[in-house]
Structure 1
Amino acid sequence: MADEEKQLGTNVVAIGSDSGSQKPRDKALEKKLIWKTDLILMPALALAYLTHTLDRANLGNAKTDTLEKDLGLVGNQFSLLLILFYIPYALMNVPFTLLSKRFNPAVVIPTIMTCWGIMAMCAAATKNFGGILATRILMGAVEAAFFPCAIFYCSLFYTRHELSFRTSVFGCMGFIAGAISGLIAWSVFQWDNALRGWQYLFIIEGSLTVGVGLLLFLVLPHSIEKSRWFSEEEKRLSRLRREEDSQDVDKNFRWEDAKKETKDWTTWIFTLMPLLYGVGVASSSNFLPTIVKRIAITPAKANLYTVGPNLTAAAVQLATTWVSDKFQQRATIACGTLFVSFLAWILLAVLNLVKHVEVGYFLTYLLTFGNFTPGILVPVWVASNTTTTTGRAFRLGLNFMAQNLAGIISSAVFRAQDAPVYKPALITVACCQAVFMVLCLGLRGHFRRLNKKLERGEVIHVSGGKERPEYRYAL
């Protein structure tokens, strides 16, 4: 756990400024500031991520309806739709995150939301593979921006000790979206009207996104300093709090800060890790309805069976990220939760579950148990150990680019000829997760050794260390 915060009394704590001095702050006022920030940011970002996940993952639900037949998809064309979606979804992460540093995430997030909602609705009008492919590629390009921009946005309001649980709060809406999408899909697939069920699904979820995007133009503050909801005293405290984590607190974009991160080898380990855990994230999001379809009495009920695992995963993620913030441990908790999912992927691959479908369904609960937790904790870990805001935006962009590229691997290994068990794909996911756990714990050991050297005075200058000698790396 970090040592830089020391208790000075019952009402104040000390923080380091850029000059290395200690400045007291009122704990009661700080609690009020955090609570007020939570009330403004968390519901808005939660709604945004809900619509993001609904629109990104609805293709998996549509597959259980008549989408493939209606569009004339043959062979591995469905997998190709997923693969080609993930290419722009990965490549646009870094540009959009850097744009959010330049133009503010409060502008970028609502803009891209409105765009991907329109694309989702347009997908309902497609008639063939080429049409659905065009809408998915455009959707992937703009959806790429959301999560890295959202975490970067939160890092401008919260300290690194507060980021994990709050990122999880709106991140859990991904699980809620999985449950809601399953319920919506199950309902609309039974409609017998002018349109197909999957078309109603795209229209409903796309229009919801556009509405929320327009609302967020009005709700999201550009900063605490520019918001009318905060007092002058709270604005001053906010500036002090930001000095804990950033050498720069202005809006200027600095290419030299981004270039400096490319020379740090830990940047590339932080980029490799999401590529590894991202295979499991994408596989759960896109293929969970397909995996549980074999235990459903009717294909439409496969969507209902995804509700329980998603809700359970949301509860687990909230609990583990709260513990992560309390004890300031990122790597060990990420690996601990993922290990449960790692076992589930292996068991789903090697056990004969044809006659024991109940066991297979139980394993889907374990599968989603820790699959998504590293996707919260690792980006927060990245943000916590990057002291310039431009460098933070760049690193977060790389992180999510790698995670989204993992979607290509996932889509490629879930081949039609391996249905219904998909054994090669399940083993691939498990192997990727095993390598991630080794790298994650190894990087934690590296930062732990650096912190010990800082304590002993063997190392003086680290990222931010010259300006704040009390700075320690997050673990």
Structure 2
Amino acid sequence: MSAATHDDKAIDGSVHEKDAQVGASELIHIDPSAEKKLILKLDLMLSPMMVLIFLVAYLDRSNIGNAAIAGMNTDLNLTGNRLNVAVTLFYVTYIAFEVPASIMLKKLRPSRLIPFFIIGWSAVIIGAAFIENYASLIATRLLLGAFESGLFPCLTLYLSMYYKPLEQARRISYLFVASALSGAFGGLLAYGLTNLHGAHGLAGWRWLFLVEGIISMVVGIATIFLLPDNFETAWWLNEDEKAILRARHENERLYQGKSMTTDAMDKSEVKLAFRDPKVWLNSFCQFCANTCSFGFSTFLPVIIKGFGYSSIRTQLLTVPVYIWASVVYLTVAFFSDYFNRRAFVMVPLACVTMVGYAMMLGVSMDKTGVLYFATFVTATGIYCCVGLNVTWIINSNAGYFKRATAIGLQQTIGNSAGIMAGQIYRITNSDGRYVIGHAVSISTITTAACGYALMYLLLRRINRKREAMSIEERIREIDAGKMGDRHPDFKYTL
């Protein structure tokens, strides 16, 4: 479906709402210059907020690894596998509320639900600075998982209210850059705050929880006033810009057959998501990639310390790894959007990560520099695979509630990998190498690469079948109610 096959209706920066309301048989022409300026404005206003929110979320989630090597294990008597259990239990509550949160985002209002999540987990992290035993640590991790559960699917859905599907990879990539940068920022904070050990009677790891919790609380309170429910209520958009966004949504509706802005729950779309094998395949791939992501981001300080570095130096050595991962991801996401390709970059990068894990498994433990370099190789593909796969499922599901259910289901299945990732990183041999963790991770990223390739072949087959349809076949499909991504004119991103 293209503008050439319809009666065009022009819209520029001065058009109003009534001009954006067109029938299903015509596309609205949008002035490219005005649209480009609008996208830039969206990036300048939305992206910093989204990045900051996701950064503090990952900061508070993964700081347990920094705290562990800063004295928490000793102070709370975390012997045996207690640290692993604490990491694992976070994901028990984390995965429980993702689908409901993403589906209910519009009803409960983004400007209220998202700040509620942030303020809730901030209070938990502040409280974690004063815990005295293992049981209290478990309680805080369960609460933290509950409050962080719906954040990512809600943020990705929120971005889809503003951006077209093919514009979303780069914007969602900012969230994963934030997750990588949180590791770098967390390492620097850990280095500085753990040096406050003993100040005002608090251990260094307690200062880490306290300060990071306060930072998140400030962000949560600010979000109440800065985050609009949608573009119609955005205080930083004028009426002309809102009109262009209405037109963009209307044009997307013509491709999808569903309104992107409707507030009414469409149960049929929810059912379609659960019945779509592509959603389950994508979710399984996310589970595999997240096994690596969660294990790497949580236990990187512990892994690097195992190479023979001191605790203080380890906190600093995590920083360059995360910065490298951020730069790689930004670059890859840009080219993924530019060429409109997912599998073509995800499969090779998964192979690079395989090499990194193989190095950490096979290189002698006395070759500290090589092992540290292996963490860079490993980080190269992890965040790219996880982030681009999220973009892929958004691109592959049309209709607001089908997309909402798909992203919620993907995140629920994908994040359940945290339960396994929390258990696999433990020393099982005399040289201090995390054999089980690295071996499981290399297996899962290999499986993910195979899944991406299968997804590519499946979507390419569907695209080719639709391209070969006659006009009569297209009309029959439309008359049969094939809407959303089942519409004969919908083309999947490969």
Structure 1 residue 463: Cα displacement: 4.4
Q: Indicate yes or no: 2:260 matched with 1:241.
A: no
Check if 1:464 corresponds to 2:477. no
The aligned residue for residue 343 of structure 1 is: 355
Residue 419 (structure 2) aligns with? 408
Q: Indicate whether 1:52 and 2:57 are aligned.
A: yes
Which residue matches 1:164? 169
Q: For residue 201 of structure 1, what is the aligned residue in structure 2?
A: 208
**Between Structure 1 and Structure 2, how many residues are aligned?**
469
Over residues 258-295 of structure 1, what are the superposed CA-to-partner deviations in whole Å (9 max), with x where a residue is unaligned? 01211111121122111111100001111111111033
Distance 1:63 1:17, change over 3 A: farther
Which whole-Å CA distance do the structure 1 matches of 2:3 and 2:74 have between them? 60
Mean Cα deviation higher: 280-289 or 248-257: 248-257
Task: For 1:200 and 1:408, locate their aligned partners in 2 and report how far apart those are by CA, in whole Å.
Answer: 27
Residues 54-104 of structure 1: per-residue CA shift (max 9 Å, x gap): 100000000101101111222101100011111111122111111213223
Match of 1:399 among 410, 419, 436: 410
Alpha-carbon offset, residue 7 of structure 1: 12
Residue 359 of structure 1 is matched in structure 2 by: 370
Among 369, 387, 393, the alignment partner of 2:380 is 369
- Give 1:201 shift: 0.2
Q: 2:282 aligns with which of 270, 276, 279?
A: 270
Hey, what does 1:113 align to over in structure 2? Answer: 118
Q: Which residue of 2 aligns with 1:382?
A: 393
- Deviation of 1:323 (Å): 0.4
Quote the Cα distance in structure 1 between the aligned partners of 2:347 and 2:2: 25
1:12–1:27 contact (8 Å) kept in structure 2: no
Greater relative CO, 1 or 2 (CA 8 Å, sep 6+): 1
2:219 is the alignment partner of 1:219:
no
Instruction: Rate the CA distance shift 1:205–1:7 in 2: closer, same or farther, 3 A.
Output: farther
Q: 2:316 — aligned with what?
A: 304
What is the alpha-carbon distance in structure 2 between the residues aligned to residue 436 and residue 294 of structure 1? 27
Using structure 2 for the length normalisation, give the TM-score. Answer: 0.90
Once residues 4 and 437 of structure 1 are traced to their aligned partners in structure 2, the CA distance between those partners, rounded to angstroms, is 34
Q: Does 1:289 align with 2:301?
A: yes
Residue 377 and residue 5 in structure 1: after superposition, are their counterparts in 2 closer, same or farther (change >3 A)? farther
Percent identical residues:
27
Q: CA deviation at 1:210?
A: 0.7
The corresponding residue for 1:314 is 326
Name the residue aligned to 2:269: 257
Partner Cα separation in structure 2 for residue 42 and residue 400 of structure 1: 21
Q: Cα gap change, 1:327/1:190 in structure 2, threshold over 3 Å: closer, same or farther? A: same
Gaps of 5+ in 1: none
Give 1:26-105 correspondences, 5 Å limit. Answer: 26-105=31-110
Note if contact 2:110-2:229 (Cα within 8 Å) is conserved in structure 1: yes
Structure 2 residue corresponding to 1:210, chosen from 214, 217, 220? 217
**CA deviation profile, 1:163-206 (whole Å, cap 9, x unmatched):** 00111123211121111111111122222321000000000001
TM-score, scaled to structure 1: 0.94
| CA distance, structure 1, for counterparts of residue 444 and residue 469 of structure 2 | 38
Distance 2:414 2:432 in 1: 26
The whole-number CA distance in structure 2 between the counterparts of 1:340 and 1:7 is: 44
Q: CA RMSD in A?
A: 2.3
Q: 1:139 to 1:331 in 2, by over 3 A?
A: same
Structure 2 gaps, min length 5 = 13-19
**Deviation string, structure 1 residues 102-126 (Cα, Å, up to 9, x no partner):** 2233322111001001000111111
Q: 2:288–2:448: 8 Å Cα contact kept in structure 1?
A: yes
CA offset at residue 441 of structure 1? 1.1
Question: For 2:332 and 2:265, how far apart are their aligned partners in 1?
Answer: 34
Secondary structure of 1:229's aligned partner: coil
- Secondary structure of the 2:40 match is helix
Partner residue, 1:279: 291
Letter in structure 2 aligned against 1:374: C
Number of the residue aligned with 1:454: 466
Q: Specify whether residues 81 and 454 from structure 1 end up closer, same or farther in structure 2 by C-alpha distance, changes over 3 A only.
A: same
| Deviation at residue 313 of structure 1 after TM alignment | 0.5
How many Å separate the matches in 2 of 1:173 and 1:283? 17
How far does residue 465 in structure 1 lie from its aligned partner after superposition? Answer: 6.2
Alignment partners' CA distance in 1, 2:23 and 2:372 = 53
Q: Once the 2 structures are TM-superposed, how far is the Cα of residue 6 of structure 1 from its aligned partner? A: 7.8
Q: Secondary structure at the match of 2:231?
A: coil
Using the alignment, how far apart are the partners of 1:360 and 1:18 within structure 2? 61
Taking structure 1 as reference, are residues 345 and 90 closer, same or farther at Cα in structure 2, changes over 3 Å only?
A: same
Return closer, same or farther for 1:5/1:369 CA change in 2, 3 Å cut-off: farther
| CA displacement, residues 305-350 of structure 1 (integer Å, 9 cap, x when unaligned) | 1011100000000000000111111122122222211111122112
My pick for the range that moved more, 371-380 or 452-461, is 452-461
1:148 deviation in Å?
1.1
Output the CA distance in 1 between the equivalents of 2:50 and 2:150. 13
Q: Greater CA deviation, 196-205 or 381-390? A: 381-390
Contact 2:397/2:485, CA 8 A, preserved across alignment: no
